[in-house]
């Protein structure tokens, strides 16, 4: 099993200010967890720079230009109370887009079986014309449209297990029947979307978790709702919005998952990918803000991708 790991020092120069949970140290902690011999066969790929054409597969020209223009020459610029731009933010965001599109190229071509993109800023809250929730560009949505338009992959499933609902991804694909968006998330947490009643054209499946839910409820809902829906859809490739803030030690959520729950869900998604997608998975980092829990959860997620 060949697994690609996308990284770049530019991601560390998206600075968000003292005390902001979406901080550069997140990626430092992940990199540190991957420095042992268990990951010696992991293929490390410096993230290339993406371009405006790729971003405009999903976002408007006005949105792209607004992000570029708002980036400060020094200090910080607040798009909202949570979403911050610094001098390095635009470069980091373009690297994130480049990483996910390059991962699509390499996984679809068969050069690699799967990929994990350790990128920031995250993306799943970004709508076509709106940056929000720490997110500037919607990386997973861009990768999805890139696979559709450049590789003629028509049936794509996005699985989002971040503790927060990916409102941006849902909005972008709400009326696109060939893209299945499935999200498990803590209901009533930010951003307040993700009701089971939000179904698009039948291609949106929201599976709420509730405060205090553990791996028992998480696994049951995947087994009874999400995995059967994926099998019914028969996707040609799986994209994962891999947020690890449903961990019990993460302060931005109230779900009680542990590392072995992330290992379990990764294995289940790989089984689906083996059956319908030639094993093709691209996993993209979203949330996860307790540095220790994030590092250990990502490490077991990547190790599972490598070893299945």
Buried b / exposed e along 193-208 (16+ C-beta atoms within 10 A)? bbeeebebeebbbbbb
End-to-end CA distance of the chain: 7
Q: 8, 125, 247, 308: which one is catalytic?
A: 125
Residue pair 189/162 in contact (Cβ under 8 Å)? The answer is no
Cα separation, 103 vs 5, in Å, equals 9
**Residue partners of 92: CB distance under 8 A and separation at least 6:** 10, 11, 13, 14, 119, 120, 121
Residues facing residue 115 across a β-bridge: 4, 282
Residue 125 falls in the annotated catalytic set: yes
5 vs 87: CA distance, rounded Å: 25
Tell me how crowded residue 15 is: count the other CB atoms within 10 A of its CB: 18
Spatial CA neighbour of 235 closest among 181, 194, 283, 286: 181
Contact status, residue 117 vs residue 45, Cβ threshold 8 Å? no
Q: Are 304 and 40 within 8 A, CB to CB?
A: no
Q: Give the integer Cα–Cα distance in Å for 192 and 66.
A: 25
Indicate which residues carry an active-site annotation: 125
């Amino acid at each position: 099993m060949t697994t690609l790991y996308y990284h770049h020092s530019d991601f560390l120069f998206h600075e968000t200010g003292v005390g902001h949970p979406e901080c550069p140290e997140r990626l430092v902690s992940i990199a540190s967890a991957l420095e042992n011999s268990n990951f010696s066969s992991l293929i490390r790929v410096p993230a290339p720079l993406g371009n405006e054409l790729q971003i405009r597969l999903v976002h408007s020209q006005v949105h792209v230009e607004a992000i570029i223009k708002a980036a400060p020459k020094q200090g910080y610029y607040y798009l909202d109370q949570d979403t911050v731009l610094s001098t390095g933010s635009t470069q980091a965001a373009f690297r994130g887009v480049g990483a996910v599109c390059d991962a699509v190229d390499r996984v679809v071509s068969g050069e690699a079986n799967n990929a994990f993109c350790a990128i920031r800023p995250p993306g799943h809250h970004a709508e076509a014309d709106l940056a929000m929730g720490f997110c500037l560009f919607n990386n997973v949505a861009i990768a999805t449209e890139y696979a559709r338009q450049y590789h003629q992959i028509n049936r794509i499933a996005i699985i989002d297990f971040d503790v927060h609902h990916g409102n941006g991804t849902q909005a972008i694909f709400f009326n696109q029947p060939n893209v299945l968006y499935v999200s498990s998330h803590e209901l009533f947490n930010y951003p307040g979307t993700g009701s089971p009643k939000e179904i698009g054209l039948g291609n949106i499946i929201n599976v709420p978790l509730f405060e205090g839910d553990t791996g028992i409820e998480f696994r049951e809902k995947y087994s009874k709702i999400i995995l059967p829906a994926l099998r019914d859809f028969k996707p040609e490739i799986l994209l994962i919005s891999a947020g690890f803030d449903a961990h019990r030690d993460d302060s931005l959520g109230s779900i009680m998952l542990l590392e072995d729950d992330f290992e379990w869900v990764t294995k289940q998604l790989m089984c689906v990918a083996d059956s319908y997608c030639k094993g093709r998975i691209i996993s993209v980092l979203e949330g996860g803000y307790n540095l220790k829990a994030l590092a250990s959860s990502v490490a077991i997620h990547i190790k599972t991708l490598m070893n299945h």
